[in-house]
Structure formats: C-alpha cells, structure tokens
Structure 1
Amino acid sequence: MSQVPSPHSLLLVEDHRDIAALIFEYFEKRGYTLDHAADAITGLHLAVSNTYDVIILDLRLPGMDGLSVCEKLRREARLTTPILMLTARDTLQDKVAGLEAGADDYLVKPFDLLELEARVRSLIRRHRAELTPEVLRVGDLSLDLGTQEVHRAGERLEISPTGKKILKLLMRASPNLVTRREIEREIWGDELPDSDTLRSHLYNLRKAVDKPFREPMICTVQSLGYRLIKPHAEQTENQP
C-alpha cells in the first residue's frame, strides 16, 4: 500500500551517521521533508533559521550536548517547536533533566521507527492544537497557549517548561482538584518520579504565581492534589 504524502518537516540533530540514515530513509518514504545536522552548532543554526514541525535532537553531540542545545532554543531563541530528545540513557533522572531543559518527549535508544513516527505525529497534533489562539484565564492569571507567556495582574511571570505544563493542567481544571497522580502521569508518563520532584516543581511554581502577590491561587488539598482558585477578593466581587 502506498504511503500518503506528509507535508511535515523535521530537523534531525544526530551525529551517528547510521542512525541518521535510517531515520532519513524511513521518514522520506512517508513524505516528510528533513534537514540534518551532525553537530550542535549546525543544529542550532538550522533550528532558528527555518520552520520545522518537530526537532529530533540527540542528547550526545560533538561540541555541545543536547540538553544545552534544548535550553538555548527555549530560553534564548524562544523557540516553541516541539523537541523530541533521543538518548541511550534511560534513567529517570536523565528523563527529568531532558524535560526540564524544554524537551517535549524523550525516546531511549534503541527504538522502533514506528514508535518514533507515532511520537512525532503526536507532538505535531499537540503543537497545532496549542497554536490555536487560546488563552487560559483564571482570575488575573493568564496563560497564552500560543506564545507560552504567563501573566498575572499584567506582570509577566518566568516559569519553567514543566511548571507551565502543571499550570496548564490546573487552569483547565480550575477550580476543581487535580490529583498528584494526574499531574505526574501527564508530565512524566509511566516513569513516575519520586515525591520530591513534583514537590520541587510546585514550590517553584508557587514562587512565581503566588509569592509576589497578596493572595495565593495554588491550593494544596492534603494527601490528594492541588487546586487553582481565583483570588478571594475577586470571588467576593463576583458573588450575587
């Protein structure tokens, strides 16, 4: 059966020639267009100079590792293109480090090309949905899903990529409870971190969202999870 041509474009940053050749052959047969960089500097240049649907980024690269490349793309170039990180390291600590650097997904070598394509397609669908002009609002807090900018009371907040993912879950559910397990599975999948990892992310999120302001919005429901509520003053004003 012939493959349906895909309009999607990918950037592959991978220094292992055999792996790069296999990925190229597989995706080109399915109608994708690809650019390839065998080192970090070339990868950075291509990523900021062109538009891609997904960047497939190897963790170990000559000149600069994939974590540093990912951080530069997110924090310096402000690039929102989905990033799928490839690595031979399969520890939870490595996965958390990749996600914290701004990666959207993480695939351990060796991998099946069918799974790689499934993850690429999932990232494309998710990113296109987030590019729709949607802004989440709870009280004076807003999260623009297109630009990924967070504001409260007109002030821009600096929040990590993982913190924004948690905040998005809380805002979509507000004022209802989101359990710890729901947050962990959404962010880390089946590779659940230890309890201190989520606690650390919530601590940093609270520092950004609550600490600079008079009224907190992130509430802990003991032993269950978290809720995001409007400031008390605004709730009072909206009561009949």
Structure 2
Amino acid sequence: MKVLIVEDDTSIAANLYDYLEAGGYEVDVASTGNAGLQMALADSWDAILLDLSLPGMDGLTLCRRLREEAGRDTPVLMLTARDALDDKLEGFVHGADDYLVKPFSLKEVGARLGALIRRYRGQVAAMDLRFADVRLDLSTMAVERAGRPVKLPPKCLQLLRILMQSPGRTFSRAELESEVWGEELPESDTLRTHVYTLRRALCEPGEADVIETLHGVGYRLMATGHDTK
C-alpha cells in the first residue's frame, strides 16, 4: 500500500515515514504544499497524510484542489495542531476524510489510516479478522475459536490482533514488544509468557496450535501447529 506524507516538520515526517514503512507501507514525503499536490497527482496513492500548515500552499487548499480540480478521491487524513471545532469542520468541508490533532500517537495514525484505506477499498468487513477457525472482531475485540468464545487479557489481545492482521508474516520479538508495550519495553521473558498464555487460551485439547515460534527470530500465524514452546 502506498502512502504520501505531506509534512514540513522534518522530525514528524521522519517518525511517520519510519513507522509506516516498518508496517509494510510504501511511503514517500513532500515538504511543501506545491510539491505535495504534484506528487499526489503524479501517482496513485492509497492514502495521504496531510499537514494543514504548509509552505507554498496550505493543506486546505491542496485538499480542495485535489478534490475539485483533479477529481481525486484518495483518502486524506489531516494532521494539524489546530484543535478548534471550526478548524476541524473546515477541514472536512475542503475534502478531508479524517482529522488528527498534534501531538498524536503513531499507533493511532496507523489505526486511522488502516480504517480509511479499508473503507476506500470497500473492505470494511476486514474489521472482522479470521485465520483458520480463529475469529477476532475488531469492533468489540471479541475472540472465537471454532465458534467458542476465547477470553484473553489486553496484551494478548493486542498480540493476536497484530498476528492476525498479517498472517504468515514473521514478527520479530522486537517488533511485537514495540507494538504492544511501546517505549516501556518489558522484561526479557514477558513476551514469551504472553505468547504462552495466548496459546493456552486458543488451543483446547485436540485443537491445532496456530502460532509458530521461529527460534531466534520471532512468531507468526500458521495453518497447523508444530512448536508450542
């Protein structure tokens, strides 16, 4: 998925770039409104992260021209320090799809961006994640295995969500620890303990393990179980 960041604050742009690229997005950056509009029109994007205050051309004008003059319906998530209701309403009037006030959490940017792209692609049903006979309803965070409810503590729910959003992908320990615990990294065995708890909750006697451990590498979802350590 391709995302364009239009942001003149180099620190914010770099943080967004690194976070989204690590999440599997193909990312490019423009630091002025004029450059942002040119790049938005020169390629096809799954979403645009658009700062409101930009040199050359402000974000509102860019968004309006993108909608009215170019006829592009690319999802736009506006990023701004302006938190007044009138500012937000003005953003929506000019064509923004969503609005996030600085300072913001990178995780919230990722969540809102993913939701915008799913709606744009007509994939709202993707809020209901499934892998094998495991189902996770992201709207309620309810989990089922083969139709039976599975109760999980919050951190295990976060782990399951991450794994189910990219089945088959191997996540390193560092990735999972960063996603779940943020900057307050856990003790060395904490992740392993939570994966063990998640496995125990998902796997009743006779059910296959859906989490594979790649020793020295990380974890991933798989169709049949081999390793339960």
TM-score norm. by structure 1 comes to: 0.51
Instruction: State the distance in 2 between where 1:30 and 1:117 align.
Output: 8
Pairing partner for 1:76 from 69, 77, 93? 69
Q: RMSD in angstroms over aligned alpha carbons? A: 0.9
* Counterpart in the other structure of 1:94: 87
Q: Offset at 1:22?
A: 0.4
Residue pairs, 1:42-191, within 5 angstroms: 42-129=35-122
Instruction: State the distance in 1 between where 2:69 and 2:62 align.
Output: 10
User: Once the two structures are aligned, what percentage of the paired residues are identical?
Assistant: 53
Q: Offset at 1:64?
A: 1.2
Q: Does 1:23 align with 2:13?
A: no
Structure 1 gap ranges (5+): 1-7, 131-240
Instruction: State the distance in 1 between where 2:117 and 2:21 align.
Output: 17
Instruction: State the distance in 2 between where 1:63 and 1:31 align.
Output: 31
SS for the counterpart of 2:96 is coil
Instruction: State the distance in 2 between where 1:117 and 1:110 align.
Output: 14
User: Which amino acid letter does the alignment assign opposite residue 94 of structure 1?
Assistant: D
Q: Offset at 1:31?
A: 1.1
Q: Offset at 1:43?
A: 0.4
Q: Offset at 1:93?
A: 0.1
Q: Offset at 1:41?
A: 0.7
SS for the counterpart of 2:95 is coil
SS for the counterpart of 1:57 is strand
Instruction: State the distance in 1 between where 2:4 and 2:22 align.
Output: 16
SS for the counterpart of 2:121 is helix
TM-score norm. by structure 2 comes to: 0.53
Paired residue total:
123
C-alpha deviations, 1:148-184, integer Å up to 9, x for none?
xxxxxxxxxxxxxxxxxxxxxxxxxxxxxxxxxxxxx
